[in-house]
Structure 1
Amino acid sequence: MGSQEVLGQAARLASSGLLLQVLFRLITFVLNAFILRFLSKEIVGVVNVRLTLLYSTTLFLAREAFRRACLSGGTQRDWSQTLNLLWLTVPLGVFWSLFLGWIWLQLLEVPDPNVVPHYATGVVLFGLSAVVELLGEPFWVLAQAHMFVKLKVIAESLSVILKSVLTAFLVLWLPHWGLYIFSLAQLFYTTVLVLCYVIYFTRLLGSPESTKLQTLPVSRITDLLPNITRNGAFINWKEAKLTWSFFKQSFLKQILTEGVYDIVNNLGSLVARLIFQPIEESFYIFFAKVLERGKDATLQKQEDVAVAAAVLESLLKLALLAGLTITVFGFAYSQLALDIYGGAMLSSGSGPVLLRSYCLYVLLLAINGVTECFTFAAMSKEEVDRYNFVMLALSSSFLVLSYLLTRWCGSVGFILANCFNMGIRITQSLCFIHRYYRRSPHRPLASLRLSPVLLGTFALSGGVTAVSEVFLCCEQGWPARLAHIAVGAFCLGATLGTAFLTETKLIHFLRTQLGVPRRTDKMT
């Protein structure tokens, strides 16, 4: 498979992921508005923060390292060993769900049972749902490695829609069940998600169509189960060692970046999750398939190196522009967003300052997502281990800085400490990318330089919207607020128009890779 074809499939995967994120957020928003009419905000808060954090942390620690390691390289490998390695996520998930469940029940404050009943059951079922989802990990990785775009879209959309229908039905008819509703719906969601992948591969591998797919490494559904390979090795130890390196990095990453929660986190990182996460996940697969891990750029196929450099350049430019837009306009519209979202209770306190600080953090998140996406796909195992050592050294300075900044400026200090941590990680990745391409004619990091005209437009927009906020928001009533929104819309349009005229290379990339429909076969 050529690099251009891989790029096209990665772009389709990213665009479909973006559409899925928008769909899921819309469904979640409508569902929460419906649920709050029947259940207390305390129950909804425990689900959306405490239990969801348990579920996501269990999955992250159990599978993130395996995904990064097993999606590296091409599809031509001993997939039996790779699948055996992926099945190890299940016992690891059992361990993390039990360990984190114990922390959630014994070390964290347990909600008042009169206000939030069945909390212990919720912890158990959310942990169990994470383990159930891990049962589908070998199927998911195989599908991602072969770019089965439609399968991902159908499986995740169907699961979310059915979960939402079940939740709404139980809330309407059995509201006294409380956390039972969300726990059963979450378990139902993961079960449906796994079944979609299992049923798909069962039907595919049992059909005449599978014989035409010469790149598919399995011929029977039983080939996806754990088994002893021809050479007697249960797993590929090279992949296992790489997984261990990524696990140490994931563990440190979870510790260093966790901490900004609730409303500010939900509002501030919404665009980051919608745009950057699908791009990071999809293009990590692209870089991992096109580039040979641990090899210098001059020792690889130059066509692939050139394509990877062009894609990295465009992604960096996209992340920089999106992050700058969020930062510049977020400063002037944080108070209004919080006022609309939660009224004076949120907009009159420290919320606006927190959200403004978080807008800066989102800019760094955007750039870091793209740089690490490339870096972790191209690094050798030894380089990943050295990066982990830097992360470990960073953890102590991060904790000290968090303590000092938090004492100095409260919650904003913790966000600033996270910005410092993210800045160091970006610096590490930029140094790696510079070294990687220094002997080649490609300079993807040049995309981090913006034209003076565009920079001037950003600065002017920031100044105009800041003045507009002072005079029009937020105590003057809705006519003034609407005028403030109109000013922002005009400045945003001017900024996007300037970007369209000055960043022609990026516009060409978006048009050719994300905007033009491509011929797809039945698999994708």
Structure 2
Amino acid sequence: MARNILKSSVQNASFSIVFQILFRCITFVLNAFIIRTVGQEVLGIMNVRLLLLESTILFLSKEPLLKACLTNTKSHNWAQVINLIWFSVPISALLGMVLVYIWVNLLSPTDDIYMNQYKLGCYAIALSCIVEQITESAVLVAQSFCFVKLKIIFETTYIISRTIIFVYLVVNYPNSAINAFSIAQIMSAVMLCCLYYGFFAWYIPSLLKFKEKGDEIERHWLFSDMDDFPFRSILNFFPGFMFNEDGKIDKNLLVLTVSFVKQSVIKQILTEGERYVMTISPVLSFSQQSMYDIVNNLGSLAARFIFRPIEESAYFYFTQMIQRDQALSKQNQINISESAEVLRHLCKIVTSIGLVVVTFGQSYSYTLLYLYGGQKLVESTLPTILLQCHCIAIVLLAVNGVTEAYAFATMTNKQLDRYNYLLVIFSILFLLISYVLTNILGPVGFILANCLNMLARIVHSIYFIYNRYKGSKHNPLKGLTPDVSFVFILIGSGFVTKFSERHLLPSSIVLHLFIGVIFLAASLAVWAYNNRDILKIGYDRYKRRASMKTD
């Protein structure tokens, strides 16, 4: 491509991060609206059962073909690529037929009052997936030729319009929330399709006109550097309309697609494993599934917005400071010393955050759920118990993120391959344990299974780090041990806030929150006093950056 691939890749990555945050925030607010308006069972049907159907159809029909078609786009025979990407349409239709039959006839049924809406929802999901796959050729061209701004505008419009349509219909027809969900899915998919094809129907003739004018094309940001754009009509986006002298399908891309199919199936199972277990297992009702989904979304906010950025930054830092294939004793000792200290500080920070979440989560889970979902959400004790258990999982998630980031950044290629196989084994065991514990303990079983999975990965990463620094003067794992005074203030805070929850919360939620703020501030003050060295490093770096900006 003539356009700047690196710049577009960075822009696309930045957009993906912003879009994910936007999507999560919208979902967060939308779930609260659904709970307060239509209840938990409807939320379970939509967020677990129907969205899992959509995810399965789209991922398996689109992901392998899209990955293959985005490979080495400079040397594409675009006629063959367009023919290949359109295979996603019949594949999604076939998958939709099979999976809709399973979802409607073989999985545990919904209550009679929701059955007709649920069936319509399954068919609507399958139809919207087919429409999205019809759009895929235009999406592929936009991505290959670096139309990053176009993607930002269209994808944001898509998610916002779907939300607006759904909310409008639910407000006016609260007893038909699943129907509203179905209509919003189809209408937004059709709109996205029209936006992409409408844009290129305008863009291609305009580009050809600018090319005829010569130098003027270079002065327009939308048309510059597009001499290699091979499409001469919007019909070229459809199979069979573009001149093709080398055969209908690129066999190499077809073989590559088959390879990606294997990866995609494994990735889909590991990514959506919990939802598959919930969907297949007859133990959890839709109400329980929605409760778990709500708690999981609330509990994972810390992971998405705090721990994940730390983990990604730590991974990049350690890859720059430590060489994979050399012993630490043979590397730059200044870098090794600094990276060991950074790892110790990071372990200290994430462990402390996790312990604070556990301590205050036990006394404020009910309050948070009440403020989020209203009285409907806390009518039973299950959501509160789930969130309290999830707080324990957050500690393990935090520690695993940093220790595994270091392990991934410094392992040799052979160690990485071995660990990838080990991760697959951990994930399969997680699914099996989830199924067993869910049948015994209900939704709590998912959280306990996740804790066991995280614990196994932490043990492996700690073992790797221990062996890595064995025999040296550095001990970064010391950061996993909290200070004694910090532990005591947390224990005291836990007792006082639990007393406040039992005796003050029923009469005054404001007073209960006020006590929590006071003891949280006291806990943070003790931690800051014990870790003055970490705060000093952060403050010095902040001053250095501020002075550089001033200069």
| TM interval, short-chain normalised | 0.5 to 0.7
Q: 1:406 to 1:15 in 2, by over 3 A?
A: closer
- Residue equivalent to 1:522: none
CA RMSD of aligned residues (A): 5.9
1:265 aligned partner, one-letter code? D
- Which of 335, 344, 362 is matched with 1:331 structurally? 362
- Residue equivalent to 1:251: 269
Aligned residue runs from structure 1 range 450-489, under 5 A: 457=486, 459=487, 462-474=490-502, 476-477=504-505, 480-489=508-517
* 1:8-36 alpha-carbon deviations (Å, 9 max, x no partner): 647733652354135413651575378x2
In 2, the alpha carbon distance for the partners of 1:316 and 1:120 equals 49
- The alignment partner of 2:272 has SS state of helix
- The alignment partner of 2:253 has SS state of coil
- Residue equivalent to 1:20: 22
- The alignment partner of 2:108 has SS state of coil
- Residue equivalent to 1:109: 108
Are 1:241 and 2:254 an aligned pair? no
Q: What is the deviation of 1:427? A: 6.3
Q: 1:2 to 1:114 in 2, by over 3 A?
A: closer
In 1, the alpha carbon distance for the partners of 2:159 and 2:443 equals 34
Q: 1:172 to 1:242 in 2, by over 3 A?
A: closer
Gapped regions of structure 2 (runs ≥ 5): 208-216, 279-288, 327-334
In 2, the alpha carbon distance for the partners of 1:406 and 1:237 equals 40
Aligned residue runs from structure 1 range 264-343, under 5 A: 264-270=292-298, 272=300, 276=304, 326-340=357-371, 341-343=373-375
In 2, the alpha carbon distance for the partners of 1:369 and 1:386 equals 19
* 1:46-77 alpha-carbon deviations (Å, 9 max, x no partner): 334432332234334444566777789xx775
In 1, the alpha carbon distance for the partners of 2:68 and 2:351 equals 27
Q: 1:163 to 1:245 in 2, by over 3 A?
A: closer
In 2, the alpha carbon distance for the partners of 1:142 and 1:356 equals 47
Aligned residue runs from structure 1 range 380-395, under 5 A: 389-390=421-422, 393-394=425-426
TM-score w.r.t. length of structure 1: 0.67
> Which structure has the larger Rg over C-alpha atoms?
2
Q: Is the 8 A contact 1:318 1:506 kept in 2?
A: no
In 2, the alpha carbon distance for the partners of 1:217 and 1:317 equals 53
Q: Is the 8 A contact 1:465 1:487 kept in 2?
A: no
- The alignment partner of 2:378 has SS state of helix
In 2, the alpha carbon distance for the partners of 1:148 and 1:120 equals 38
Q: What is the deviation of 1:187? A: 1.1
In 2, the alpha carbon distance for the partners of 1:239 and 1:366 equals 36
- Residue equivalent to 1:212: 224
In 2, the alpha carbon distance for the partners of 1:83 and 1:389 equals 33
Aligned residue pairs total 489
Q: Is the 8 A contact 2:92 2:133 kept in 1?
A: yes
Aligned residue runs from structure 1 range 122-161, under 5 A: 122-137=121-136, 150-161=149-160
In 1, the alpha carbon distance for the partners of 2:140 and 2:438 equals 41
TM-score w.r.t. length of structure 2: 0.64
Q: What is the deviation of 1:255? A: 3.1
Q: What is the deviation of 1:470? A: 2.1
Q: Which range moves more in the overlay, 466-475 or 173-182?
A: 173-182
In 2, the alpha carbon distance for the partners of 1:505 and 1:217 equals 54
- Residue equivalent to 1:303: none
Q: 1:503 to 1:255 in 2, by over 3 A?
A: same
* 1:102-154 alpha-carbon deviations (Å, 9 max, x no partner): 22111123334445533212211022223333444565567678886644543
In 2, the alpha carbon distance for the partners of 1:53 and 1:337 equals 27
In 1, the alpha carbon distance for the partners of 2:136 and 2:348 equals 32
1:12 aligned partner, one-letter code? S
2:300 aligned partner, one-letter code? A
1:358 aligned partner, one-letter code? H
Gapped regions of structure 1 (runs ≥ 5): 299-305, 519-524
- The alignment partner of 1:117 has SS state of helix
Are 1:357 and 2:389 an aligned pair? yes
Q: 1:274 to 1:217 in 2, by over 3 A?
A: farther
Aligned residue runs from structure 1 range 370-381, under 5 A: none
Q: Is the 8 A contact 2:438 2:445 kept in 1?
A: yes
In 2, the alpha carbon distance for the partners of 1:456 and 1:482 equals 28
Q: What is the deviation of 1:262? A: 1.5
Q: Is the 8 A contact 1:58 1:97 kept in 2?
A: yes
Q: Which range moves more in the overlay, 166-175 or 412-421?
A: 166-175
In 2, the alpha carbon distance for the partners of 1:494 and 1:175 equals 46
Q: Is the 8 A contact 1:245 1:381 kept in 2?
A: no
Are 1:187 and 2:186 an aligned pair? yes
2:231 aligned partner, one-letter code? R
Q: Which has the higher contact order (CA 8 A, sep 6+)?
A: 1
1:417 aligned partner, one-letter code? A
In 2, the alpha carbon distance for the partners of 1:428 and 1:145 equals 39
Are 1:98 and 2:97 an aligned pair? yes
In 2, the alpha carbon distance for the partners of 1:174 and 1:144 equals 38
- Residue equivalent to 2:51: 52
* 1:184-218 alpha-carbon deviations (Å, 9 max, x no partner): 1111122333444444566566385345347x975
1:17 aligned partner, one-letter code? F
Aligned residue runs from structure 1 range 441-452, under 5 A: 449=479
